[in-house]
Amino acid sequence: MTMDKNTNVLIVDDYKTMLRIIRNLLKQLDFNNVEEATDGQEALSKLRAGNFGLIISDWNMEPMTGLDLLKEVRADARLKPIPFIMITAESKTENVVAARAAGVSNYIVKPFNAETLREKIEKVMAHA
Q: Which pLDDT tens digit goes with each residue over 61-88?
A: 988 999 999 999 999 999 999 999 999 8
At 127 the pLDDT is 74
Identify the pLDDT of residue 1. Answer: 45
Q: Per-domain residue ranges for the chain?
A: 39-126
pLDDT of residue 19: 96
Would you tell me how many other CB atoms lie within 10 Å of the CB of residue 45? 11
Please give the pLDDT value at position 59.
Answer: 94
Q: What pLDDT is recorded for position 2?
A: 59
Q: Is the pLDDT of residue 106 over 90?
A: yes
Q: Which of 21-30, 66-75, 89-98, 112-121 is the least confident region?
A: 89-98
CA–CA gap between residue 53 and residue 108 (Å, rounded): 18
Q: Which CATH superfamily is domain 39-126 in?
A: Response regulator (3.40.50.2300)
Q: Give percent above pLDDT 70 in the chain.
A: 98
